[in-house]
Amino acid sequence: MVRPEDISHAQIDGALVSVWVGAEVLVTELSLAELERRLPSERFERVHRRALLNLDRVDRLRPEDSGGYTAITDAGHEVPV
């Protein structure tokens, strides 16, 4: 079982959802919406229609030319915001 605090983010990858836990990527058949319901809302935020982010694992936000942002996790992964 994966502890929520160990998850940095989750993203839709085709028909499945990929979940980043440290350097490991796990694949689940749960929808992103279902995963969002199961994870603590005080820690996880739906930051993009295709991404769920653990706010405790954000290292910094990088502004994009388009006006949006990319979150950089403490493991160096990039997540669209």
Domain boundary assignment for the chain: 4-80
pLDDT at 22: 86
pLDDT at 23: 86
Segments in the chain below pLDDT 70: none
Q: Give 59's Cβ-side CA count (13 Å radius).
A: 9
pLDDT at 17: 97
Per-residue pLDDT reduced to its tens digit, 14-28:
889 999 998 899 999
pTM of the model: 0.91
Q: Which of 70, 44, 46, 69 is nearest to 57 (CA)?
A: 44
Q: Are strands 44-48 and 24-28 parallel, antiparallel or unpaired?
A: unpaired
pLDDT at 1: 79
Domain at 4-80, CATH from 2.40.50.1020, 3.20.20.30, 2.40.30.110, 2.40.10.120: 2.40.50.1020
81 Cβ contact list (under 8 Å, min separation 6): 47, 48, 51, 53, 61, 68, 69, 70, 71
